């Protein structure tokens, strides 16, 4: 990974858990960061089931399987750039919140979807 350190993806309750991220997800994210040309700050990567429950994540959250990331974002211009780069890098599951963008490539879930939080 050129743009990230693996510990950026650690669940807060398990040091080193970022290593449980899927290689495909990390490669696509790194590609998206190159395309965007702006920094990405990772809010959430891998989550233990306990941490996922603590933050109110979905029962079968893609974060728990290493397929999902949340990127910090609070302005519309960056949001547009990040979403465009995620699509170009191959992410086809994107959720948009007020302060973050969720992206995942979970093969067990419906593709080509965008949702709001």
pTM over 0.85: yes
Q: Which stretch of DSSP H or E encloses residue 87?
A: helix 76-89
List, as one string, the DSSP characters of 16-81: TGGGGS-HHHHHHHHHHHHHH-S---EEE----HHHHHHTT--TT-GGGGT-EEEEE--SHHHHHH
pLDDT at 47 exceeding the cut of 90 = yes
Measured CA to CA, the distance from residue 113 to residue 92 in angstroms comes to 6
Alpha-carbon radius of gyration of the chain: 13
SS3 (DSSP) at 85: helix
Q: What is the pLDDT of residues 15-42, one digit of tens each?
A: 999 999 999 999 999 999 999 999 999 9
């Amino acid at each position: 990974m050129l743009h990230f350190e693996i510990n950026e993806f650690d669940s807060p309750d398990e040091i080193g858990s970022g290593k449980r991220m899927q290689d495909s997800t990390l490669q696509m994210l790194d590609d998206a960061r190159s395309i965007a040309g702006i920094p990405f700050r990772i809010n959430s990567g891998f989550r233990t089931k306990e941490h996922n429950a603590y933050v109110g994540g979905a029962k079968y959250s893609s974060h728990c399987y290493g397929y999902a990331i949340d990127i910090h974002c609070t302005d519309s211009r960056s949001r547009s750039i990040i979403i465009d780069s995620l699509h170009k890098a191959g992410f086809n599951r994107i959720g948009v919140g007020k302060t973050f963008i969720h992206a995942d490539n979970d093969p067990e879930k419906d593709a080509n979807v965008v949702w709001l939080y």
